[in-house]
Amino acid sequence: MALDEFDRIATYFAPLSAGHAGAFGLRDDAAVVDVSAGQQLVVTTDALVENVHYLPDDPPLDIACKALRCNLSDLAAMGATPRGFTFAMALSSIRDITENDGRISSFSNGLRRDIEKWDCPLIGGDSVTSPGPEMLSVTAFGELPIGTALRRNGAQPGDRIFVSGSIGDAALGLRLRRDDVGHGLSQQAAAFLIKRFHLPQPRVALGGGLRGVASACLDISDGLLQDLRHICAASGVGANIHMAALPVSAAARSALKDAMMTEIGLLSGGDDYELLFTAPASAVGAVTAAGAAANTKITDIGEITEEPTVQVLDQNHKAVEITSWGYRHA
Amino acid sequence: MALDEFDRIATYFAPLSAGHAGAFGLRDDAAVVDVSAGQQLVVTTDALVENVHYLPDDPPLDIACKALRCNLSDLAAMGATPRGFTFAMALSSIRDITENDGRISSFSNGLRRDIEKWDCPLIGGDSVTSPGPEMLSVTAFGELPIGTALRRNGAQPGDRIFVSGSIGDAALGLRLRRDDVGHGLSQQAAAFLIKRFHLPQPRVALGGGLRGVASACLDISDGLLQDLRHICAASGVGANIHMAALPVSAAARSALKDAMMTEIGLLSGGDDYELLFTAPASAVGAVTAAGAAANTKITDIGEITEEPTVQVLDQNHKAVEITSWGYRHA
């Protein structure tokens, strides 16, 4: 059955707002949000376009979640606790109505799971139709104590550089989905890498734990090297990264063996959505504790330098030639 | 010169965030927003798709403003004072790079004007490229005293029904832009109607003045009749509208004479972005005062009834047959 905008909102999206009374069941012109005394709101927005940020045959259950999770990852990078989000969706009229209704149902089911997981209700949105590719845009809201947001500009020479999880998996997953590569990989390894591309794991608990601990923080979306340069530029410093220290998943290691990508490729591939952050040497214990509390692996990968260049060093401490700094969005 | 995402943000968008220190010059992962004690935030989101909500050759200076203003109109409908907005933009790769840079420059110039007018800075955004039509998505934030948001569900039998400005101009403007009609109109009248389609006038000052006065309020985007039905459904009431009382601009009157549209067409055409609201008879003086303070024309067009139907009455108080209730978004 073809649903119009009002039916769709009532059927698929209004139930996702149940956790936020101020969403008024998505029936009013806007939602209201209360902010507790001493807290401030954190706001971020990210848009995904079909064929650019995801593929037409990616699992629909994951697509809307990816849009939400990219934004949760930005909140995590600021150290904020998620509070809610708005969801604007342009369905493609290239698909027929039945197919679009099926996709909406999957988007809604995926979002329900993530809303529960992060206690982050839907508070508003818009649903339109486009003659072109599908597009999803999320604006997410978080909360943190006033003045405690993690910024990019606080890295100091001597600070250690840390990264959560593992690096390069999503870029490999995208290659596996797009190109005829990876024939030497086990099915399991390929599935792991593709999942890492489809469904980022925003480090929400870790981000919250890094408030007052990290001197600078961001989430890696353009590739580790590119995003590290953002921290360095904002802080007026440089960095040395030790190639041998990089956290590389077992699946990514087998992809390296299969010559799917170079090690530098792992550092310049986008879509990791891991946290990259710095902390003074005196805070290493607190960093370790934050990682343990969030049940998230953290790896020390290098140090901030006074000299304002970013270098990757091999095991002989020789600078590796960097052929690509990362993905610069056109 | 081709600009990438980082250059574009720095050149065109960072200056638009100057009024909000918590936007961090758009250089961090997210923005922070403080909410004063006793206030709550109001959040709304609206997306516009090229060829659906605006035309490829509409003036670029107006397009981004329209996206912002649709959202400001939602804030006005809640009675909120604008505080800031995020802007997600998918440029079309169908246009060449020089043309897109020109559009971004126009978007930015238009937004600057509106940011100053409503004291509503840009606080974040995203810029992506789409292989399909251009798309803009805005999420806007406003503030109001806790618990004072104007809702749709408070209309009571006996309440008067009011509308701001004039009705049907934008629907006529769209017809003039799309179809070969309106040959009997003066150039001036045609230009007025087209401008009303290109650039809504959000009734921000009026919305703020209606807090504590209006019993229900929304902004007309789907057509007066359709949106009035939303108020009636939410409030469990009905309405009688008096055709002769409707505020119709001189330009729209000449379009009616030219048979471009019926009077009922004016009531079911979308994109008015006028406020439609109800208030008890005892508050008519306060409504008049709010209109005068906001320098906005307000017209009493009918009354809320117990019988839960919406009727349009002619000058003999006979119900007019309604052939179309308004625009239902596919």
Contact between A275 and A207 under an 8 Å Cβ cutoff? The reply is: yes
Low-confidence ranges of chain B (pLDDT < 70): 1-3, 326-330
CA nearest A33: which of A44, A20, A46?
A20
Contact between A235 and A152 under an 8 Å Cβ cutoff? The reply is: yes
Q: What is the pLDDT of residues A36-95, one digit of tens each?
A: 999 999 999 999 999 999 999 999 999 999 999 999 999 999 999 999 999 999 999 999
pLDDT attached to residue B2: 57
Distance to chain A for B330, nearest Cα, Å? 5
CA nearest B69: which of B203, B266, B205, B230?
B203
Contact between B151 and B248 under an 8 Å Cβ cutoff? The reply is: no
Contact between A276 and A224 under an 8 Å Cβ cutoff? The reply is: yes
Q: What percent of chain A has pLDDT over 90?
A: 88
- Written as six digits, the tokens of A98 are 């039945």
Q: Can you say how many angstroms the Cα of residue A160 is from the centroid of all Cα atoms in its chain?
A: 22
Chain A residues touching B48 at Cβ < 8 A: 128
Q: At what angle do helices A187-198 and A169-178 cross, to 10 degrees?
A: 100
Chain A residues touching B41 at Cβ < 8 A: 32-35, 41
Given strand B238-242, what is the order of strands in its sheet?
B216-219, B275-279, B160-164, B298-305, B238-242, B310-313
pLDDT attached to residue B322: 84
According to DSSP, the residues that pair with A92 across neighbouring strands are A130
Distance to chain B for A135, nearest Cα, Å? 9
Domain boundaries, chain A: 5-145, 160-313
According to DSSP, the residues that pair with A140 across neighbouring strands are A44, A85
Cβ-based neighbours of A179, under 8 Å, separated by 6 or more: none
Asked if B105 is an interface residue toward chain A (Cβ–Cβ < 8 A), one would say no
CB contact (8 A) between residue A33 and residue B49: no
- Cα B64 to Cα A222, A298, B34: the distances in Å are 26, 42, 26
- Cα B219 to Cα A13, B163, B277: the distances in Å are 21, 9, 8
Q: How many helices (H) and strands (E) does chain B have?
A: 10, 11
pLDDT attached to residue A270: 84
CB contact (8 A) between residue A78 and residue B328: no
User: CATH number of the domain at B5-145, please?
Assistant: 3.30.1330.10
pLDDT attached to residue A327: 56
- Whether the domain at B5-145 and the domain at B160-313 fall into the same CATH topology: no
Beta strands in B165-266 (DSSP E): 216-219, 238-242
In chain B, residues 263-322 whose CB comes closer than 8 Å to chain A: none
Other beta carbons within 10 angstroms of residue B158's beta carbon come to 14
CB contact (8 A) between residue B49 and residue A149: no
pLDDT attached to residue B64: 96
Superfamily per CATH, domain B160-313: PurM-like C-terminal domain (3.90.650.10)
Distance CA B117, CA B121 (A): 10
pTM, two decimals, is 0.94
pLDDT attached to residue B327: 56
CA nearest A20: which of A128, A143, A127, A103?
A143
pLDDT attached to residue B8: 84
Contact between B277 and B214 under an 8 Å Cβ cutoff? The reply is: yes
The H-assigned helical ranges of A154-297 are 169-178, 187-198, 204-209, 224-235, 250-257, 263-268, 284-293
Distance CA B258, CA B177 (A): 16
**Residue length, chain B?**
330
Asked if B20 is an interface residue toward chain A (Cβ–Cβ < 8 A), one would say no
User: pLDDT band at A329, cuts 50/70/90?
Assistant: very low
Asked if B28 is an interface residue toward chain A (Cβ–Cβ < 8 A), one would say yes
In which element (H, E) is residue A84 found? strand A81-92
Q: Nearest residue on chain B to A42, judged by CA atoms?
A: B32
B146-155 per-residue burial string, b: 16 or more CB within 10 A, e: under 16: eeebbbbbbb
CA nearest B201: which of B244, B166, B252, B156?
B166
Q: At what angle do helices A187-198 and A250-257 cross, to 10 degrees?
A: 110
Q: Which amino acid is at A7?
A: D
Q: What is the pLDDT of residues A109-135, one digit of tens each?
A: 999 999 999 999 999 999 999 999 999
Sign of the Cα pseudo-torsion (A210, A212, A213, A215, in order): positive
pLDDT attached to residue B330: 39
Contact between A137 and A88 under an 8 Å Cβ cutoff? The reply is: yes
- Cα B85 to Cα B7, B17, B55, B70, B105: the distances in Å are 20, 10, 23, 12, 18
Contact between B269 and B200 under an 8 Å Cβ cutoff? The reply is: no
Q: Nearest residue on chain A to B39, judged by CA atoms?
A: A34
CB contact (8 A) between residue A34 and residue B40: yes
In which element (H, E) is residue A8 found? helix A5-8
Q: What is the pLDDT of residues B156-212, one digit of tens each?
A: 999 999 999 999 999 999 999 988 899 999 999 999 999 999 999 999 999 999 999
A269-280 per-residue burial string, b: 16 or more CB within 10 A, e: under 16: bbbbbbbbbbbb
- Cα A271 to Cα A13, A167, A172, A231, A274: the distances in Å are 27, 9, 10, 17, 9
CB contact (8 A) between residue A135 and residue B131: no
Q: What is the DSSP letter of A10?
A: I
Chain B residues touching A141 at Cβ < 8 A: 43
Asked if B40 is an interface residue toward chain A (Cβ–Cβ < 8 A), one would say yes
B231-249 per-residue burial string, b: 16 or more CB within 10 A, e: under 16: bbebbebbbbbbbeebbbb
Distance to chain A for B185, nearest Cα, Å? 32
Contact between A320 and A312 under an 8 Å Cβ cutoff? The reply is: yes
Cβ-based neighbours of B81, under 8 Å, separated by 6 or more: B75, B142, B143, B144, B204, B208
CA nearest B20: which of B64, B76, B83?
B83
Cβ-based neighbours of B100, under 8 Å, separated by 6 or more: B91, B92
Q: Can you say how many angstroms the Cα of residue A2 is from the centroid of all Cα atoms in its chain?
A: 33
